[in-house]
Structures are given as C-alpha cells and as structure tokens.
Amino acid sequence: MAEKVLMKGNEAIAEAAILAGCKHYFGYPITPQTEIAAYMAKKMPKIGGCFLQAESEVAAINMVYGVASTGKRVMTSSSSPGISLKSEGLSYMAGSDLPCLVVNVQRGGPGLGGIQPSQADYFQATKGGGHGDFKMIVLAPASVQEMAELTVKGFELADKYRMTSMILADGTMGQMMEPVELDFDIKERPATPWATTGTKMEREHNIVNSLSLVAEELEQLNFARYERYAQVEANEAMYEEYMTEDADIIIAAFGIAARVSKNAIVEARKQGIKVGLIRPITLWPFPKAPFEKIADTAKAVISVELSMGQMIEDVKLATQCKVPVTLCNRVGGMIPSPEQVLEAIIKANGGAN
Amino acid sequence: MKEFKRITLLCGHYGSGKTNVAVNMALSLRKQRDRVAIADLDIVNPYFRSKDSIADFQDNGIRLICSEYANSNVDIPALPQDMYAITDDKELSVIIDVGGDDRGALALGRLAPKIIEENDYEMLMVINCYRPLTRDAESTIEVMREIEYAGHIKFTGIVNNSNLGVATTPEDVLKSVEYAREVSEQSGLPVVYTTVNDNIYNDLCDKIENLLPLSLQARPV
C-alpha cells in the first residue's frame, strides 16, 4: 500500500498525469484550476518533461494537438470560460482522431461568471464540446482520490479509442484537500502506428489532419468514428450505486452534488425513507443501465445538480419517462445543502414518514 | 504557549496549513495582549482565507487586516489597504498569514525592511511532510530558501504542522517528528511547535515536545 499524501484535487490530477507518463502539459492559468499548472511548472522540469504556459487557451489546445500527433501522452487543463476557448481545438482533435486528456474544473457561468464551483458545463462536455459530430469521454470525479484515478483512466481510454478524455470536475473538487494514495498500475500504452514520428524511409507518410474535402469520404470517416463511439458506449460506462437495493426514491448526482446527496440520504434513511443514489462516473457514455433498472421500481427520481438542470435530460431519457424526474439544484457557484436535498427527498416521498 | 514577539510571520508551502495555524495563534495571542490583529497578506489564493474565521475574530476583539476582495469572487492579487498598520502601529501585536510559496511571500518585500529594523518578530516556516512537494527535508528546505529570497527576510523557527487533514492519526504526527528534526538540523532553526488537531492532543502531549493543540477552522464537506 502506498503512503498517503494530503493533496488538493488539482494537484492530484497533475501528479497522476505525471505517473501515467504524461510529460507534456500546455495551459493558461484560470481559477479554480491554476494549481494544476503550478504543480506542472514545478515538477515537469525535474522529470525531463515540458511545461509551457501558452499565450492563450487557443494556443495551448493547439500545442496539445501537435504533441498528440506525435503519439505522446499530453494534456491541458482549464476552467469553464477557458474550455470554451479550446472548443475549436477539441473539434479538430476529434476530426483527427487524436488521444489527449483535457481537464475542466468548472466555475459558475455563463460568460466569465464567477470563481465558485459549478456543473453547468455538462451539456458542453457530453453533447460535443465543439462543432461537428463528435464525442468526448467525460469522467466526473467525486473525491480527490478519484481526481487522480480518473486521470490515469482518462489517458488509458483516450489511447484505447483515439479520442479526447475530459475530466469534468467542479471547483470544490479542484480546491478541496484529502488524503490520497497514488498507487497505480500503469498499463502499457497501445502502439501508435498513426503517429507522425518520421518515416525513417521505412513506411508511408502518416498524415494527421481534420480537413476532408470529399464529402463521400468525410461521411465514411464519421460513420467509422461513430462505430468506435458505440464501442465506448457498450464497454466503458461507469457508475456507483449507493443504497439503491430497496430504494423507492433515486437520486441522480455526480461530483460534489453526489457527496452532498449521500449526507442527505443517510439522514432520510434515519427517517425511514428508502432512498438511494446512482452516481454516474462517466457522464459520456452515460450509464443508462442502472437507470433502466430502477425505472420500473422507483416511484421518483431526483436529479441533484449545480446547474439549471442538464444531466436531468439524460436521466429522463434513460428512465424513458416511466418515473417522474424532478430537479434539486443551486447555480452560479452555490452548492445545494444536505438539508435542501433532504427536503426534496421528503417532497418526492409525498411527505415525511 | 510561548511568549509572542510583536510580529509573528507564518510562511510555508501552500496547503501546509498556515492559515489554520495563524488563526489559532491569533486567538492565543489575544489571551496575552489587548490589541491584536491578524493580517492576511495572501495575493495568490482567492479561497480558504483567514477571513473565513471573521466571526471568531469579531467575537474575540481581534482586528482583521485583509484585502477587501479576499473570499470574494473578485480574483485579483490585492493587498489590504491598512497593511501599514502592521509596521507603523507599534502597540499592535500581529500574526501575519503570508501567502503560500515564494509567490505568496513576494508581498512581504514591502514590509520586511521595517520588520527587520524594529527587530521584534518571529518568522515561522509551517511544514507538512504529507504535502506532495515537501515530503522530505531537502524539498522543504528548498521551499524555505525560495520564500526567504522572495520575502527579503529570514526564518527564525519551524512549526511542524504535518497532517492529513481530518483523517490525521496520532501515528501520522509521530512519524513526522523525525522529518521536522531533519529540517531543523539542516536549516539550523528550532522546531518551535508541533501542532495537532485538538481531538488527538491528549494522545500525544507526553510524547512530543512543544505540542500545540489547534482547532480546525475549515469545515470538511
């Protein structure tokens, strides 16, 4: 067992990335994720890696594109407004089938918004994140330990499917400190025969490009890409269930909202209300199976979110409208309290038991 | 608790627990002196500031010298408008909560000449061997030197605040004693206090010298 260290969520991401063999980080500072860049700036030179503070988010994501083209592990991180700036690059990388890791430690929006936590980039992360038909694997940590674990997982999935993995955390996850064990089994990377590493006059040129001017060919590229996405959906959905076995009421929540909800569930159980939690760990692919399962047995579902109600749409699709789904939320940098969630549970139960 | 100098500066790696130590020290200092202030000179981190404990300060008659923008959504590196009270008002006893690392210590440069000239201060390095970038004496000393260089002022002592947050066990603290001794030996500075959360103080008070119980200011989620 590895020794425990006390880390901020942002630091845990940075250290886990380095352990996963990422030696290239490009970014531009923005609260509440700046510690990722600060950690990389300190650590990368010591391990022979490259930390570069780009002149902008747009520059940073294009540097990621460049390194990804050579088949090396590479990442960038930002917070909500900065991710919007990167969206052109995200689309280009999808169009070029390049693996990379992008971290979004969300803050309240829209626009410049504030610097307090949010989950309002759910749509942006899970429904595309740029122009054109594409998907990103979206991972939602709910502890500092998971910030580290899902960073490693994110790199692995990105390599496996040649696509972008995004860590969708919120400001609380980035800033909170918890003991972490950084004891990972780092798998060997799949080969990257597509990488632009020089032909050595031994093979044909590799071309990494998202431009495709023949419509018939571009269509085929999209079809092939979506076949890969179907594999991801079939194989990679991750979730946690908490006290769902006998639950009449199901809470759907991820990240900090899931932690708050667990507190409320413990309290509600004391009052005799049978309530449980489904916590999606991958937001795309969305874990439909556990929701399909409870759709016939639960009498109500509550989606607890730090947004005006974004994941709730996927919850409704997954439960196929067989059960009423309501929203319990705070926005703009505010976090629902356990009391607020408990109130929503009692209401969904039709009053106190 | 030992007798305080007029000014106590708390510096260290970010996340070492400076603010928690500073807040506790200000409350202790208030028991010894009438006019006490805590000064938050952090220009780096917009979160987890001394200002979180403002109610405690008001209840205990402790003045808070702090940027208007601390803990607000205004994420700019600003110093408190009344920061010169620290050096100008010689009747005031002050705990200074300096920002993390050398970047945070930059804010000290303006005050350091007057603090050194008056020579009634103690500058303490808050250390925590459970933080990833200060896990051993060497890396801790490196951070110390960077802070001294940025702040234009030298350390006089060490506070061993090694902890794993609310999960800290007495064994975790005991294990850190050797680390603190090494930092002390290599820097030539005394370990002035070893700090522990007050819930485990009784387990350790006869095992570690100069043990200081702290109450935790930040609330776990």
pLDDT tens digits for range A224-277: 999 999 999 999 999 999 999 999 999 999 999 999 999 999 999 999 999 999
Is A71 in the B-facing interface, judged by CB distances under 8 Å?
no
**C-beta atoms of B130 and A114 within 8 A:** no
pLDDT in tens, A4-60: 999 999 999 999 999 999 999 999 999 999 999 999 999 999 999 999 999 999 999
In a domain, B220, yes or no: no
**C-beta atoms of A5 and B75 within 8 A:** no
Closest to B221 (Cβ–Cβ): which among A39, A176, A179?
Answer: A176
DSSP-based three-state secondary structure for A240: strand
Peptide bond into A193 cis (omega under 30): no
pLDDT band at B218; cut points 50, 70, 90 = low
**Is A206 found in the same domain as A256?**
no
Mean pLDDT, rounded, for A292-309: 97
Kindly tell me if the per-residue pLDDT of B185 is higher than 80. yes
Kindly tell me if the per-residue pLDDT of B45 is higher than 90. no
**C-beta atoms of A6 and B135 within 8 A:** no
What is the model's pLDDT at position B69?
A: 84
**Nearest-neighbour CA in chain A from B153: distance (Å):** 23
Closest to A5 (Cβ–Cβ): which among B47, B75, B131?
Answer: B131
pLDDT in tens, A175-188: 999 999 999 999 99
Chain B residues near residue A4 by CB distance under 8 angstroms = 130, 164, 167
**C-beta atoms of B130 and A5 within 8 A:** yes
pLDDT band at B43; cut points 50, 70, 90 = confident
What is the model's pLDDT at position A7?
A: 97
What is the model's pLDDT at position B44?
A: 84
In a domain, B27, yes or no: yes
**C-beta atoms of B135 and A4 within 8 A:** no
**C-beta atoms of A115 and B48 within 8 A:** no
Q: Single out the residue in A216, A235, A254 at which a domain terminates.
A: A235
Mean pLDDT, rounded, for A103-117: 96
Phi, psi (5° rounding) for residue A105? -95, 95
What is the model's pLDDT at position B30?
A: 95
In a domain, B204, yes or no: yes
Residue among A162, A349, A125, A95 at smallest CA distance from A255: A125
Block residue for tokens 């808070």:
B64
Is A27 in the B-facing interface, judged by CB distances under 8 Å?
no
What is the model's pLDDT at position B216?
A: 80
**Is A269 found in the same domain as A120?**
no
What is the model's pLDDT at position B60?
A: 95
Kindly tell me if the per-residue pLDDT of B206 is higher than 70. yes
In a domain, A353, yes or no: no
In a domain, B221, yes or no: no
**Is A264 found in the same domain as A172?**
no
**C-beta atoms of B47 and A175 within 8 A:** yes
Q: In degrees, to the nearest 5, what angle opens at C-alpha B37 toward C-alphas B31 and B39?
A: 135
Is A174 in the B-facing interface, judged by CB distances under 8 Å?
no
**Is A278 found in the same domain as A173?**
no
Q: Which residue of A has its CA nearest to B130?
A: A5
CA A4, A8, A13, A19 dihedral sign is negative
Enclosing domain of residue A277: 240-348
**Is A302 found in the same domain as A181?**
no
pLDDT band at B87; cut points 50, 70, 90 = very high
User: How many Å apart are CA A139 and CA A168, to the nearest integer?
Assistant: 6
Mean pLDDT, rounded, for B49-58: 90
**C-beta atoms of A7 and B131 within 8 A:** yes
pLDDT band at A2; cut points 50, 70, 90 = low
Block residue for tokens 């975790």:
B172
Question: In CATH, what number is assigned to the domain containing residue A297?
Answer: 3.40.50.920
CA B95, B96, B100, B102 dihedral sign is negative
**Is A38 found in the same domain as A93?**
yes
Mean pLDDT, rounded, for B150-163: 97
By percentage, how much of chain B surpasses pLDDT 70?
98
Chain A residues near residue B164 by CB distance under 8 angstroms = 4-6, 179
**Is A162 found in the same domain as A100?**
yes
What is the model's pLDDT at position B47?
A: 83
Number of domains within chain B? 1
Please provide the average confidence, as pLDDT, over all residues in chain A.
97
In a domain, B87, yes or no: yes
DSSP-based three-state secondary structure for A17: helix
In a domain, B50, yes or no: yes
What is the model's pLDDT at position B101?
A: 92
Which three-class secondary structure string do you get for A102-117?
EEEEEECCCCCCCCCE
Q: Which residue of B has its CA nearest to A34?
A: B45
**Is A230 found in the same domain as A254?**
no
**Is A193 found in the same domain as A265?**
no
Chain B residues near residue A170 by CB distance under 8 angstroms = none
In a domain, B102, yes or no: yes
**Is A143 found in the same domain as A182?**
yes
**C-beta atoms of B131 and A6 within 8 A:** yes
Residue of B103, B130, B179 to mutate, testing the A interface (most A Cβ within 10 Å of its Cβ): B130
Mean pLDDT, rounded, for A270-290: 98
User: How many Å apart are CA A79 and CA A151, to the nearest integer?
Assistant: 16
Kindly tell me if the per-residue pLDDT of B219 is higher than 60. no
pLDDT in tens, B122-147: 999 999 999 999 999 999 999 999 99
**C-beta atoms of B221 and A115 within 8 A:** no
Enclosing domain of residue B49: 7-214
State the DSSP H helix or E strand holding residue B68, giving kind and residue range, or none if neither: none
pLDDT band at B2; cut points 50, 70, 90 = confident
In a domain, B148, yes or no: yes
Question: In CATH, what number is assigned to the domain containing residue A76?
Answer: 3.40.50.970
Q: Which residue of B has its CA nearest to A116?
A: B73
Q: Single out the residue in A235, A251, A267 at which a domain terminates.
A: A235
Kindly tell me if the per-residue pLDDT of B46 is higher than 70. yes
Closest to B165 (Cβ–Cβ): which among A177, A260, A333?
Answer: A177
Kindly tell me if the per-residue pLDDT of B221 is higher than 60. no
**C-beta atoms of A7 and B73 within 8 A:** no
What is the model's pLDDT at position A1?
A: 41
pLDDT in tens, A194-214: 999 999 999 999 999 999 999
Kindly tell me if the per-residue pLDDT of A146 is higher than 90. yes
Number of domains within chain A? 2
Q: In degrees, to the nearest 5, what angle opens at C-alpha B46 toward C-alphas B42 and B47?
A: 105
What is the model's pLDDT at position B127?
A: 98
Chain B residues near residue A179 by CB distance under 8 angstroms = 130, 164-165, 167
**Is A96 found in the same domain as A163?**
yes
Question: In CATH, what number is assigned to the domain containing residue B99?
Answer: 3.40.50.300
Q: In degrees, to the nearest 5, what angle opens at C-alpha A259 toward C-alphas B56 and A34?
A: 70
Residue among A118, A235, A95, A92 at smallest CA distance from A172: A118
User: How many Å apart are CA A6 and CA B130, to the nearest integer?
Assistant: 5
**Is A344 found in the same domain as A320?**
yes
Kindly tell me if the per-residue pLDDT of A3 is higher than 90. no
